[in-house]
Amino acid sequence: MLVEFEELQRAQSGDDAAFNQVVLAYRKRIMGTIARLIGRPEDVEDVAQEVFLRLYYSLDQLRTPEVFEPWLYRLTVNASYDYLRKQRRRNESRMADLSEQAVMMADAAAGGRENSERKHQLKVKELLDSLLGTLSQEDQILLKLKEVEGLSLKELEKIYRVKENALKVRLFRARQRVLKAFAASQNLKSSDTED
């Protein structure tokens, strides 16, 4: 826990200063998770604000402070998923997105890093995003939480309120699909180099 139980309880009872402290303690972590889940740096702050807005209006429903972190993660996952769903509805051009993302990534990564490193990072991101594109948005988020965020199955169980075995099956299937797409992309790459 990044905040004391007492602070959380004060925030629950309507203490705005305590809520401020909770936001400040978790803001960086939540924004990092959102950035990896939605993949659009320019919208991370808006989604994070939505998470904390939902937190403010539902904090009184939290029964025990022990479950606060999984609960906050659940709010984050839901807000990210809502964002991705809205994005899909907007039906924006994927190519435009990628170029905009590339610019944002380059801007964000700027500051001392070498150009080649940035290029490599962009390549990694684009490759994994295209591999994850073979999955549904729900499975993309689940797999990212496990593989990129490094959450354990126990933690995922608390966030999703789903039995561990069901999560294991879902994760295994998602990973197999990504692996298949990865194998196909590697084959394509090797055939390109042969030509």
Partner 1 sequence: MDSLEQQLNSLFAAYRGAIPEPEASSDFMPRLWGKIEAKRSFVYRLKKMSQLAVATALAVCLLSSILINPFTQRDPQLAGTYVDMLAEAHADETVAATGGVRLDLLDAASQQ
Q: Kindly list the residues in this chain that would bind partner 1 in the complex (CB under 8 A).
A: 20, 23-24, 27-28, 31-32, 34-36, 39, 41, 44-45, 48-49, 52-53, 56-57, 105, 108-109, 121-122, 124-125, 127-128, 131, 147-149, 175, 178-179, 182-183, 186
Output helix, strand, coil percentages for the chain, rounded to the nearest 5: 85, 0, 15
Q: Which residues of 13-45 are buried (b: 16+ CB within 10 A; e: fewer)?
A: eeeeebbebbbebbbeebbebbbbbbbbbebbe
Q: In the complex with partner 1, which residue's Cβ is closer, 49 or 87? A: 49
CB 182 → partner 1: shortest distance, Å? 5
Closer Cβ to partner 1, 20 or 66, answer by number:
20
The first and second tokens of residue 27, run together, are 């803001």
Give the angle 155-88-79 at the CA atoms, nearest 5°.
35
Q: How far is the CB of 117 from partner 1 (least distance, A)?
A: 10
Return the closest-CA partner of residue 35 out of 26, 46, 20, 24.
Answer: 46
**CB–CB of 101/40 below 8 Å?**
yes
Least distance (Å) between residue 66 CB and partner 1:
25
Nearer to partner 1, 131 or 167 (CB): 131
CA separation for the pair 162, 155 (Å, rounded) = 11
Minimum CB separation from partner 1 for residue 16, in Å? 8
Question: Of 13 and 163, which CB lies nearer to partner 1 in the complex structure?
Answer: 13
Residue closer to partner 1 by CB (options 28, 163) is: 28
Shortest CB 174 distance to partner 1, Å: 12
Taking the C-alpha atoms of residue 85 and residue 91, their distance in angstroms, rounded to an integer, is: 10
